[in-house]
Amino acid sequence: MTTCSRTLAIAAVVAFLPLPAVLAQGTREDYQRAQQFLPGNLRHRVYVADVIPHWIAEKNRFWYRKAGTKGTEFILVDAEQNASGPAFDHARLAASLSKAATREYQPTELPFDTFDYAKDGRSISLQVDGMPWTCQLENYECKREPEPVAGQYEQASPNKEWVAYVKEHDLYLRYAPTGEIVRLTHDGTESWDYATPIPSLRPMVAQGTQDVKQRPAVFWSPDSSKLVTYRMDTRSAGRFTNLQFVPTGQLRPKAFTVVYPLPGEVLPKADPIIFDVQKGKAIDVKTASLEIQFQGGPGFEWFPDSKAIYYQADDRGEKAIELRTVDSETGEQKVVVREKSDRYVDPGQTFFRFLRDSAELLWSSERDGWNHLYLYDQKTGSLKNQVTHGPWVVRQIVDVDEKSRRVYFLANGREKGEDPYQTHLYSVGLDGNNLMMLTPANANHTVSISPDHSCFVDNSSRPDLPGEAVLRNTKDGSPIRVLEQTDSSELLKTNWKFPEAFHGKAKDGTTDLYGLIWRPSNFDAAKKYPVIEMAYTGPQAFFVPKTFGAAMRGLPSVAELGFIVVMVDGRGTTGRSRAFHEFSYRNLGGAFEDHLVMIQQMIAQYPYMDATRVGIFGTSAGAYGAAHAMLVFPDFYKVGVAISGDHDARLDKAWWNELYQGFPVGPDYAEQSNVTMADRLQGRLLIEHGDIDDNVHVVETMRFADALIKANKDFDMLIVPNMYHGEGGNLYLVRRRWDYFVRNLLGVSPPSNFEIHEDREPLPGRPR
């Protein structure tokens, strides 16, 4: 989707809420101020310290890219010497690259985000516009390298001798030194082809054809002697057709059809197969066909010795997840761990790490009510011991030091007196003893550990704490050096205030919930402010920002228009106990009772929040939630904007809905659909959708609109040409959303056709 895409208003049936007798004018200043708070524009006034280290070989040296308010630079850090400096001479590199490429590049705006040092450290390799370059660091001579062995739609082996590709549904190899062609399969047919994942709509639209070309799904062994792939059968799977109304280069619309199984329907199936390139034979993996619930296909990983592969297989509805290993010589399969549940095993909360030296496995599970780590014997599949315990949540395995038999992991909810969603880095023995917390600051932490396990980079912040990036010792968490510090001083000069964390209770009156409140920079406690909630209740994660950078993305600009903006994580999302998480099971529509009572508690504490003027907006599942909240609580939520909404789970992708709404499909699918509840609408609702949405089909918004029309309800709708899922940075749609709340919730006329401008370089800082 491009920012200049034309937008077609399909319906605009107006039913104004009570507004002041005379609509106020003069909001252009508010819009101009709000524009400056968009993420791309904020980067010129705020530097967010977020160091993503690129570790060099097996050493504890690394480089990182610093995106400052006046440009970018690359920094090299030597942890052992406790020293840092430029990774190279930016001015000389820019001059040399400009000369060689016959284009002008500035030292603070180099045309790449990442690079690799040569093993001897004397040169770097990088890509400019998709093409490989090498620059010597002694004389700064830059030259473009030859085309890679594999083309755009090919997959090369690690030793670059073999190149895999798909032709007319079959898998082929090309021997790079001679160009010799080897045909591996002969029976591929349309919709039952080899090494071909289920494509999304995007590559079809990009290439302008239904017969999309893509890289083959081939997973090479480390020694390049074998590969594993699959044969995908989509013959019986359901499909959706998207009509691109305004395709490039022609007047007539263009139709694209994609495989898109719905809940309860027949799923595509993949049959794994191993090819021994050296011996010229195929080995079938001895397993039942793998069911594929959405786009893509199964993924496989090789063990370093190239003798076996492993992969994760899920039962339908995620009732069970298995970790399997396969002998690459025989195709014999073994289940190492099987995790099962009567409701679901959340794949987003399930992760693992093989321990090479001891043939053990670390596995995460919510089986005791909290997500924790368990140690298994890889060969026998037997449980050795539970590694972590307690009423808190392990979020990620960061590293394992097998020599000292300690695991480093991120977890939240253990530290008293903190927001329970804030992550810290911990280490513990694989026997479960000697737990240590290594990140002392009361903040959210993201980390990266050096290859030799001696140190780590710690990025820490909160929405109300700009934070810093510190290099620390893994032994005890002690600081080695401060790498970067967030600078918000220019922003604070505008009288802007940090967002405020809010702690309240759920509808049950006992469960603790957490939210965030944004106020405008010209906030006046003597005034009454309408409230806007940005909503997302998907059970796959939690969504209230927990870092300074994430809290600065988008919502401060909405507040500048004259609103109090809030976010809430209610029951049914992750980051807490299993019971907290399961609240949303077969209950995706029931989450908003928590949101309503939390906002009511905010209003009770802050009388300048107007309980009679509450709005809501969201995208995808957040759009379903925004519309659903208005249907369930029409006396509370008065104005809403729903973008790319999955308004009816019966018409949405199988995997997400079967996982969280439940499988088999039950009557709750229809009962909680916005389509079946359309007659409850009372407030002002704008629904938006893109014609080429490859995640949630536009049929969901169309069916919702049809139900609203049949119920004789007034609403507004935008069907947007050439828009995928969500607004996608379309500033016209951002402005229309602003206008909708300003006109219908704030009660004033927005400036006519205000054109928003935003620097497209995003604000640094990771989510949450």
Last residue of a domain, one of 302, 335, 358: 302
Pair 33, 62 in one domain = no
| Pairwise CA distance, residues 276 & 226, whole Å | 5
Cβ 137 vs Cβ 125: under 8 Å: no
Pair 58, 40 in one domain = no
Residues 296-354 pLDDT 10s = 999 999 999 999 999 999 999 999 999 999 999 999 999 999 999 999 999 999 999 99
Q: Which helix (H) or strand (E) holds 593?
A: helix 592-605
pTM: 0.94
Single-letter code of the amino acid located at 589 = G
Instruction: Say what the pLDDT of residue 20 is.
Output: 40
Residue 473, in any domain of the structure? no
Percent of the chain exceeding pLDDT 70 equals 96
| Pairwise CA distance, residues 653 & 293, whole Å | 8
How many structural domains are present in the chain?
Answer: 3
Question: For strand 716-720 and strand 301-302, is the pairing parallel, antiparallel, or unpaired?
Answer: unpaired
Residue 243: which CATH number?
2.140.10.30
Secondary structure in 3-state letters for 551-592: HCCCHHHHHCCCCEEEEEECCCCCCCCHHHHHHHCCCHHHCH
Residue 470, in any domain of the structure? no
Neighbours of 225 (CB within 10 A): 17
Residue 466, in any domain of the structure? no
Peptide bond into 664 cis (omega under 30): yes
What is the CA angle 618-619-624, rounded to 5?
A: 75
| Pairwise CA distance, residues 137 & 439, whole Å | 36
Residue 363, in any domain of the structure? no
Query: Three-state DSSP class for 507?
Result: coil
Pair 705, 621 in one domain = yes
Residue 441, in any domain of the structure? no
Last residue of a domain, one of 144, 173, 197: 144
- The token pair that represents 620 in the structure block: 């995808």
| Contacts of residue 57, Cβ cutoff 8 Å, sequence gap at least 6 | 119, 451
Q: What is the CA radius of gyration of the chain?
A: 27
Pair 631, 740 in one domain = yes
Cβ 169 vs Cβ 189: under 8 Å: yes
| Pairwise CA distance, residues 461 & 486, whole Å | 9
| Pairwise CA distance, residues 60 & 79, whole Å | 6
CA-nearest of 315, 187, 287 to 228 is 287
Pair 22, 75 in one domain = no
What is the CA angle 239-240-246, rounded to 5?
A: 145
Q: Where are the alpha helices (DSSP H) in 643-715?
A: 654-660, 668-671, 699-710
Pair 704, 658 in one domain = yes
Domain that holds residue 74: 54-144
Pair 96, 162 in one domain = no
| Pairwise CA distance, residues 236 & 269, whole Å | 9
Q: Which residue has the tokens 């480089």?
A: 63
Pair 13, 85 in one domain = no
Q: Is the Cα torsion angle 638, 639, 645, 648 positive or negative in sign?
A: positive
Single-letter code of the amino acid located at 39 = P
What is the CA angle 564-565-569, rounded to 5?
A: 135
| Pairwise CA distance, residues 202 & 208, whole Å | 10
Instruction: Say what the pLDDT of residue 60 is.
Output: 85
Pair 538, 672 in one domain = yes
Instruction: Say what the pLDDT of residue 11 is.
Output: 34
Q: Which residues of the chain have pLDDT under 70?
A: 1-26, 761-768
Pair 614, 725 in one domain = yes
Residue 530: which CATH number?
3.40.50.1820
| Pairwise CA distance, residues 611 & 745, whole Å | 12
Instruction: Say what the pLDDT of residue 2 is.
Output: 40
Dmax over Cα atoms in the chain, in whole Å?
A: 84
Query: Three-state DSSP class for 30?
Result: helix
Residue 149, in any domain of the structure? no
Question: For strand 333-340 and strand 142-144, is the pairing parallel, antiparallel, or unpaired?
Answer: unpaired
Residue 174, in any domain of the structure? yes
| Contacts of residue 140, Cβ cutoff 8 Å, sequence gap at least 6 | 89, 92, 93, 95, 96
| Pairwise CA distance, residues 338 & 299, whole Å | 18
DSSP per-residue codes, 44-77: TT-B------EE-TTSSEEEEEEEETTEEEEEEE
What is the CA angle 691-693-699, rounded to 5?
A: 65
Pair 23, 80 in one domain = no
Based on the number of CB atoms within 10 Å of its own CB, is 77 exposed (0-12), middle (13-18) or buried (19 or more)?
A: buried
Instruction: Say what the pLDDT of residue 761 is.
Output: 61
Pair 512, 625 in one domain = yes
- The token pair that represents 605 in the structure block: 């504490």
- The token pair that represents 761 in the structure block: 């370089």
- CA torsion, ordered 285, 288, 294, 300, to nearest 10 deg: -20
* Residue 220, beta-bridge partner list: 227
Cβ 398 vs Cβ 447: under 8 Å: yes
Q: Where are the beta strands (DSSP E) in 600-655?
A: 609-619, 637-643
What is the CA angle 725-256-618, rounded to 5?
A: 15
CA-nearest of 101, 79, 5 to 728 is 5
| Pairwise CA distance, residues 596 & 574, whole Å | 19
Last residue of a domain, one of 271, 302, 333: 302
Instruction: Say what the pLDDT of residue 14 is.
Output: 33
Residue 478, in any domain of the structure? no
